[in-house]
Amino acid sequence: MSDLDRINDVLREGSPVLWECLSPLGRRVAFPPDIPFQAAEARDTRYNATIGQITDGDGRALAVPPVEEALSGLGPEARNQALLYSPVQGLAAVREAWRSWQRREVGEQVPSSLPLVTCGLTHGLSIAADLFAGPGRAVLVTAPFWGNYRQTFEVRTGARLRSAAAYLGGRLHPRALAELAAQEPIGEPVVAILNFPSNPGGYMPSAEERAELVDSLVEAAEARPLVVLCDDAYAGLVYEQEIPTGSLFWDLVGRHERLIPVKVDGATKEFSLFGGRVGFLTFACAPDDPMAEALESKVKCLVRATVGSPVATSQVLLLEALGRVGADRHVEVLRERLARRYRRLRRALSQLDPELLGVLPCNAGCFALVELPEGVDPEAARRHLIAEHGTGLVAIAPRYLRIAFCSVREDDLPALVRNLEQGVAELATRRSSAT
């Protein structure tokens, strides 16, 4: 029996629901007994001539001197690791350390796999898309959503992106995804994306909203296999005391046999490692579960097919950050800095004329959303704010502007909001004088 057949059998028997959710591509991938596989088997040989990377013959990197100097802040072992190939699944120490980091407030009885390393969080999403999306598959999101979902899920795999309003009457609508799911034929597998704290929303659900959201997804799984991708890009960045901070992934694990939660997270925001591209893909099964091994084989095949192996250099940087006592303190310093900006921005936004600009719920993440008055086009507003007010925001159809307060100095936020108000008022006036 081929490796692919064996792995597919494990999945089919372990979870017929997960098997049903796999895309055609997801069904045909398995990590091949190729060079990385053979190199792993030869790891302890005296004469190891398996792998095509240039070393001194004792497994040490032969860096060019300027690169070696640039990484002189690392110890010799870490520098070697940074310069040589990472295993396709990621460095073992990084996977272990990230799993501990993910689970630092999670009970032992809740299973999760050893995370697989990807080339940034987007790569984790695109591999999840390869596994579970595909031609015709419904992928459900709430609007406004991160635009790149369209490229990653719809354009690449041929899935159908279906969206519904995230907010109703100025509040989060927790049942939006479940209602979207109900529009698909009964029995038909669907993929739902949860992104909290949200981009572009900057919102994390309250305890009540969270319970309603989770329950509605569990109910939706009565009618169909339901893959729930938790895009936890902004994990931990929550600024109000009473809001639960944990990933919704943990609330979904084990809730329904037809509900398959998948966690996609990364070092990008939590460890401010934007340029490093270290993401992770985690499944809701224990590390020693044969399901975990089978899914790992599929993910490794896709990682190998798309990028060869994940970035070793920035895995080593992340390991430095995770390995020291006080990783949580470093992250907390960053969160507190953003929390100050958040409070300053909230104060400025609270003084806006609500007739002119609506402010959507915001308590987390990196962004706040404002809603433009009817008849003011967001793209026109964006250009006007750049040209006339030296203010750069992101336009989001049909009528939003997104403020990325994560990249603006605290003291600049009031002026930014004044510019926004003034620029939009000018456009609103033009519009009314034109009519």
d(CA 205, CA 171): 10
What's the CA angle centered on 206, arms 201 and 208, to 5 degrees? 135
Sign of CA dihedral 262, 365, 421, 415: negative
Q: How far is the CB of 110 from a copy of itself (least distance, A)?
A: 27
Q: How far is the CB of 135 from a copy of itself (least distance, A)?
A: 11
Amino acid at position 224, single letter: R
Nearer to a copy of itself, 284 or 393 (CB): 393
Nearer to a copy of itself, 222 or 379 (CB): 379
d(CA 170, CA 191): 26
Q: How far is the CB of 362 from a copy of itself (least distance, A)?
A: 13
Nearer to a copy of itself, 155 or 286 (CB): 155
Q: Which two tokens stand for residue 21?
A: 């959710």
Nearer to a copy of itself, 274 or 398 (CB): 274
| Sequence-distant (≥ 6) Cβ neighbours of residue 428 within 8 angstroms | 356, 373, 375, 376
Which residue do the tokens 């250009």 mark?
383
Q: How far is the CB of 357 from a copy of itself (least distance, A)?
A: 15
Query: Strand 138-143 vs strand 190-194: parallel, antiparallel, or unpaired?
Result: parallel
| Sequence-distant (≥ 6) Cβ neighbours of residue 5 within 8 angstroms | none
Q: How far is the CB of 18 from a copy of itself (least distance, A)?
A: 20
Nearer to a copy of itself, 17 or 193 (CB): 193
Nearer to a copy of itself, 223 or 305 (CB): 305
Q: How far is the CB of 14 from a copy of itself (least distance, A)?
A: 23
Query: Strand 226-231 vs strand 259-266: parallel, antiparallel, or unpaired?
Result: parallel
Nearer to a copy of itself, 100 or 183 (CB): 100
Sign of CA dihedral 184, 190, 195, 199: negative
Q: How far is the CB of 249 from a copy of itself (least distance, A)?
A: 20
- Give the three-state DSSP class for 258: coil
Q: How far is the CB of 433 from a copy of itself (least distance, A)?
A: 27
Please check whether residue 118 is in contact with residue 280, taking contact to mean a CB–CB distance below 8 angstroms.
yes
Nearer to a copy of itself, 82 or 194 (CB): 82
Nearer to a copy of itself, 22 or 259 (CB): 22
Q: How far is the CB of 171 from a copy of itself (least distance, A)?
A: 23
Kindly write down the DSSP assignment for every residue of 274-293, as one continuous string.
Answer: TTT--EEEEESS-TTSHHHH
d(CA 359, CA 357): 7
In the DSSP assignment, the letter for residue 55 is: B
The beta strands (E) that lie in 295-346 are given as: none
Q: How far is the CB of 142 from a copy of itself (least distance, A)?
A: 18
Nearer to a copy of itself, 16 or 73 (CB): 73
Closest listed residue to residue 376, CA positions, set 397, 350, 346, 354:
397
Residue 87 sits at φ, ψ, to 5 deg, of -55, 155
